[in-house]
Amino acid sequence: MKVLVTGSGGREHGLAWSVASSAEVERVYVAPGNAGTAIDDKMENVDIDVMDIDAQIAFAKQNDIALTIIGPEVPLVAGAADQFQAAGLTCLGPGREAARLEGSKSFSKDFLERHGIPTARYGSFENVDPAIEFSNGMSTPIVIKADGLAAGKGVVIAPTHSEAEVTIRDMLSGNAFGEAGYRVVIEEFLVGEEASFIVIADGKSFLPFATSQDHKAAFDGDKGPNTGGMGAYSPAPVVTPEIHQRIEDLVIKPAIEGMAEDGHPYVGFLYAGLMIDEEGYPRVIEFNCRFGDPETQPVMMRMKTDLVRLCLAATQGRLEGEQIEFDDQVALTVVVVSGGYPGDYAKGCAIQGLSKIEGGKVFHAGTKLEDGEIKTSGGRVLGVTALGQSVGEAQEKAYNLVNDISFDGMYCRSDIGYRAVAREKGDA
Ligand code: AMP
Ligand code: GLY
């Protein structure tokens, strides 16, 4: 069987790697892919832009693609999955309406409220004056979110009412995020520990992937500006078996049922970003309509079940009765970035040491193959991943692998997994 994965990041390399491990799969095409998906076994890049859905459909038809997995949110929110289905092709991913769970924060918050799914108290506004009045009535810090897609950068946590006002004016004037900021969601600041809970759904049933936790802040100690994610590990120790059940019952089940009730059955990966409070109760921070990046990398590293089998079952509405299994070991991914990221950074730097890697997996993100040489081409460059019996061991192994790799300006956090390591040592 031949499979197409669209996208070019670490998530897509992780998904393609898992797909390629299936005995049923002879070839995985990645459009447009990166250097990792250009060189891995069974994989091949196709030079088609991630947003050129017509060209992807033509390619899928010409090449007998049995399954397409759409990696990123932007094509999903634009309706890529609907287009594939309309062309008679099998494609995993929510359609445009269902993808609004990520594409519009106000749609998502209204959905959560309507279906009684726990989340932060909020208001959504298109006009400055009522937005500021609402914000002034809330205790600080205040969370302000641009309604539309903003590549993970549309969230501001304002420490004071006056800073909240500046942010609200900035977003609603269209200065900060253009179209994505024509409406804002203002919400209560949630306290607790974050976890990523990702499931595959077939419109009625779902199966949860192993839990994970990412580190969004650029610097050690979770300090500095937010990024797409500087590292992740799986499982998330904060999600005990009891909390796991609670998340399924209070969040995922009502979300899948709610989408079906509302006439938009959800088929694809659904990612709930959760805040777990001190009593162990989850609240939804956000929904994403795709797999996490970098969560994909540690989760796929632990997955024992055939991903293609699950994706096909999901597209055919028969996930019920399927099983999903994960390695008991911990997987930890350190994201290696270009110096300066999430701000400006250099591209085109040659990466050394990749051939030395043994005993782990380096997932590529912002890389490209140029004249047989692997060079940087983005902010997040590699996701260096290792398995271990404990978080501490996986962490040590992953950082040992990182030490083999070098390129000009290379940077990574030195403390990925620190909370979980502290838990293991009994310090947290
Ligand atoms: P989002 O893009 O909605 O996931 O927000 C990005 C990050 O901002 C989250 O991962 C949280 O760390 C933080 N955040 C968003 N909403 C809240 C909230 N209501 N309370 C506390 N932190 C939040
Ligand atoms: N790692 C966060 C995300 O994929 O949204």
Whose atoms come closest to the Cα of 233: which ligand?
A: 2
Q: Which atom of ligand 2 is nearest to the CA of 294?
A: 1
Q: Which residues, including other chains, have CB under 8 Å from residue 177's CB and lie 6 or more apart?
A: 146, 148, 150, 153, 154, 171
pTM (global) more than 0.75: yes
- Amino acid code (one letter) for 311: C
Interatomic CA distance for residues 4 and 132, integer angstroms:
46
247 contacts 239 by C-beta, under 8 angstroms: yes
Residue 398 buriedness (CB in 10 A; 0-12 / 13-18 / 19+): buried
Nearest CA to ligand 2 atom 3: 292
Residue 33 buriedness (CB in 10 A; 0-12 / 13-18 / 19+): buried
Q: Is 283 in the pocket of ligand 1 (CB under 6 A)?
A: no
Tokens of 52: 């050129």
Print pLDDT tens along the chain (428 aa). Answer: 999 999 999 999 999 999 999 999 999 999 999 999 999 999 999 999 999 999 999 999 999 999 999 999 999 999 999 999 999 999 999 999 999 999 998 899 999 999 999 999 999 998 889 999 999 999 999 999 988 787 766 888 999 999 999 999 888 876 666 666 678 889 999 999 999 999 999 999 999 999 999 999 999 999 998 888 999 999 999 999 999 999 999 999 999 999 999 999 999 999 999 999 999 999 999 999 999 999 999 999 999 999 999 999 999 999 999 999 999 999 999 999 999 999 999 999 999 999 989 999 999 999 999 999 999 999 999 999 999 999 999 999 999 999 999 999 999 999 999 989 988 888 65
Distance 91 CA to ligand 1 centre (A): 30
User: Which of 271, 333, 416 gets mutated to test ligand 2 (max ligand atoms within 8 A of its CB)?
Assistant: 271
Tokens of 415: 């403390």
- The pLDDT assigned to 229 comes to 93
Interatomic CA distance for residues 328 and 90, integer angstroms:
32
Whose atoms come closest to the Cα of 187: which ligand?
A: 1
Q: Which atom of ligand 2 is nearest to the CA of 229?
A: 1
Nearest by Cα to 239 from 187, 298, 176, 281: 281
> Which segments within 35-159 are labelled E, that is strand?
43-45, 65-70, 91-92, 122-125, 142-146, 155-158
Nearest by Cα to 48 from 11, 88, 5: 5
- The pLDDT assigned to 304 comes to 97
Nearest CA to ligand 1 atom 4: 286
334 contacts 343 by C-beta, under 8 angstroms: no
Three-state secondary structure call for residue 336? strand
Three-state secondary structure call for residue 32? strand
Nearest CA to ligand 1 atom 8: 155
- The pLDDT assigned to 182 comes to 78
- The pLDDT assigned to 155 comes to 86
Distance 188 CA to ligand 1 centre (A): 10
385 contacts 297 by C-beta, under 8 angstroms: yes
Ligand 2: residues whose CB is within 6 Å? 152, 214, 229, 288, 292-293, 295
- The pLDDT assigned to 181 comes to 61
75 contacts 99 by C-beta, under 8 angstroms: no
Nearest by Cα to 201 from 319, 351, 352: 319
Tokens of 303: 């997955």
Q: Is 382 in the pocket of ligand 1 (CB under 6 A)?
A: no
Q: Which residues, including other chains, have CB under 8 Å from residue 210's CB and lie 6 or more apart?
A: 234, 235, 299, 302, 303, 326
Interatomic CA distance for residues 159 and 203, integer angstroms:
40
Interatomic CA distance for residues 284 and 122, integer angstroms:
12
Distance 129 CA to ligand 2 centre (A): 32
- ∠ Cα 230 242 113 (to 5°): 75
- The pLDDT assigned to 120 comes to 94
- The pLDDT assigned to 183 comes to 85
Distance 215 CA to ligand 2 centre (A): 9
Interatomic CA distance for residues 182 and 184, integer angstroms:
7
Whose atoms come closest to the Cα of 285: which ligand?
A: 1
Nearest CA to ligand 1 atom 9: 285
